[in-house]
């Protein structure tokens, strides 16, 4: 018995540093992240026949209601040919943002067992909720693009820039999710605050009221400038420009809406600060989560 023990190569001693955001090796981190996102996605959307349909029905129903109210009752976008497309794309994108962040809030607390009882890279938990929502979003995008093409929009080379805009959206979503998931461990009202916060963000992003000449803010350049303080607004507006190729007067680029490159700096600073804060607060809290649950 001991002879066999001696034949085992003696392994080098390594420091055990305790829990962290990425702890336990990068390969394991990505394996776990992928597995958790995929299994959760499969469970929710393919567990039942209606599973995926439900996730599609939600943004579509919202789209239908808003289209009716804004285009036909309030006549906001009735004079704008592309209004339904802008609305649908915006709603689906925002649904991803909202679903990912709100699911992430309680994710770490919901996975209490894993956090408190096993060595687990903490970052996997909020990240996998974001990824699950992202998979769902990608499926929804297929429907959206079928709609866009059916609407008569022709593909252009600027469509190739869309992934970069999505990357920015994904990054912002992830940073917020990271921050919320660990803050929720200590402050349970984060969830309630974010319900309101997400509402505010929804209305301060040009989804319901397109910018430009036929939009709601046509006579108020200051309002457009104000809206471009919101990083989400910048991303969404630029996506509209890239995807729909409307005449410039109808759809100003983010730079034009903000009133020049320099006016985009606040949005960029907000974007970068949110990202930095998300990473910082998550790294600070990650080692302590297990003790605080």
Partner 1 sequence: MPPEVATATEPSGPAIADAPVAIEVRDLKKSFRIPTQRVDSLKERVVHPLAQREYRELRALDGVSFEIHQGEFFGIVGRNGSGKSTLLKLLASIYRADSGTIRMAGRLAPFIELGVGFNPELTARENIVLNGVMMGLSPREVRRRIEAIIEFAELEEFADLKLKNYSSGMLVRLAFSVMMEADADVLLIDEVLAVGDAAFQQKCSDAFREMKAQGKTIILVTHEMATVEAYCHRAMLISEGQIQSIGDPAEVGRDYLRLNFEGDGEETAEEVLHEQSADVRIVDIALQDEAGADISTIEYGKEIRLHLELEALRDLPGLDVGFLVSNADRIDVLNFGIPVGERERAREISANQRVTVEARVANHLAAGRYFVHCGINRAFGGGIALYAQDALDFLVFGGPETKGVVVPELEIEASIGEGSS
**Among the residue ranges 49-57, 98-106, 180-188, 205-213, the one whose residues contact partner 1 (CB under 8 A):** 180-188
Contact flag: residue 4 with partner 1 (CB under 8 A): yes
- Asked whether the beta carbons of 217 and 211 are under 8 A apart, the reply is yes
- The set of residues, in sequence order, having a beta carbon less than 8 Å from that of 60 and lying 6+ positions away, is none
Contact flag: residue 5 with partner 1 (CB under 8 A): yes
- From candidates 73, 189, 247, 261, binder to partner 1 by CB under 8 A: 189
Q: What is the dihedral of CA 101, 104, 105, 109, to 10 degrees?
A: 180
CB atoms closer than 10 angstroms to residue 53:
12
Contact flag: residue 17 with partner 1 (CB under 8 A): yes
Contact flag: residue 282 with partner 1 (CB under 8 A): no
Smallest distance, Å, CB 108 to partner 1?
A: 14
- From candidates 65, 193, 272, 276, binder to partner 1 by CB under 8 A: 193
Q: What value, to the nearest 5°, has the Cα angle with vertex 289 and ends 288 and 293?
A: 125
Contact flag: residue 114 with partner 1 (CB under 8 A): yes
Q: DSSP state, 72?
A: I
Among positive and negative, which fits the CA dihedral 221, 96, 159, 265? positive
Of 265, 278, 251, the residue nearest 82 (C-alpha)? 251
Contact flag: residue 2 with partner 1 (CB under 8 A): yes
Q: DSSP state, 288?
A: G
Q: Find the distance separating the first CA and the last CA of the chain, reported in whole Å.
A: 43
**Among the residue ranges 35-43, 165-173, 217-225, 271-279, the one whose residues contact partner 1 (CB under 8 A):** 35-43
- From candidates 83, 120, 170, 271, binder to partner 1 by CB under 8 A: 120
Contact flag: residue 222 with partner 1 (CB under 8 A): no
Size, binding site for partner 1 by CB under 8 A: 48
Contact flag: residue 243 with partner 1 (CB under 8 A): no
- Asked whether the beta carbons of 57 and 136 are under 8 A apart, the reply is no
Contact flag: residue 195 with partner 1 (CB under 8 A): no
Which value, in Å, is the radius of gyration of the alpha carbons in the chain?
22
Q: Which residues bind partner 1 (CB under 8 A)?
A: 1-8, 10-19, 23-25, 27-28, 31-32, 35-36, 39, 43, 47, 113-120, 186-190, 193, 287-288, 290-291
């Amino acid at each position: 018995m001991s002879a066999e023990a001696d034949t085992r190569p003696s392994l080098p001693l390594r420091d055990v540093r305790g829990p962290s955001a990425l702890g336990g090796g990068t390969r394991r981190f990505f394996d776990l992240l992928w597995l958790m996102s995929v299994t959760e996605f499969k469970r929710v959307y393919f567990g039942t026949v209606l599973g995926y349909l439900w996730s599609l029905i939600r943004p579509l129903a919202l789209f239908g209601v808003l289209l009716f109210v804004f285009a036909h009752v309030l006549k906001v976008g009735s004079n704008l040919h592309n209004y339904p497309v802008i609305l649908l794309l915006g709603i689906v994108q925002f649904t991803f943002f909202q679903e990912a962040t709100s699911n992430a809030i309680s994710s770490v607390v919901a996975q209490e067992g894993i956090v408190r009882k096993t060595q687990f890279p903490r970052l996997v938990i909020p990240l996998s909720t974001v990824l699950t929502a992202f998979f769902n979003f990608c499926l929804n995008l297929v429907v959206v693009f079928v709609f866009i093409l059916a609407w008569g929009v022709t593909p252009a080379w600027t469509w190739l820039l869309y992934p970069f805009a999505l990357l920015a959206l994904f990054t912002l979503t992830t940073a917020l999710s990271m921050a919320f998931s660990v803050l929720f461990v200590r402050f349970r009202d984060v969830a309630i605050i974010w319900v309101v916060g997400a509402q505010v963000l929804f209305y301060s992003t040009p989804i319901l009221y397109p910018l430009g000449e036929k939009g709601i803010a046509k006579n108020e350049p200051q309002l457009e400038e104000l809206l471009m303080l919101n990083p989400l607004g910048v991303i969404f507006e630029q996506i509209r420009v890239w995807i729909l190729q409307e005449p410039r007067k109808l759809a100003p680029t983010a730079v034009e809406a903000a009133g020049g490159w320099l006016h985009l700096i606040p949005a960029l600073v907000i974007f970068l600060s949110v990202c930095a804060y998300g990473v910082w607060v998550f790294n600070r809290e990650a080692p302590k989560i297990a003790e605080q649950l």
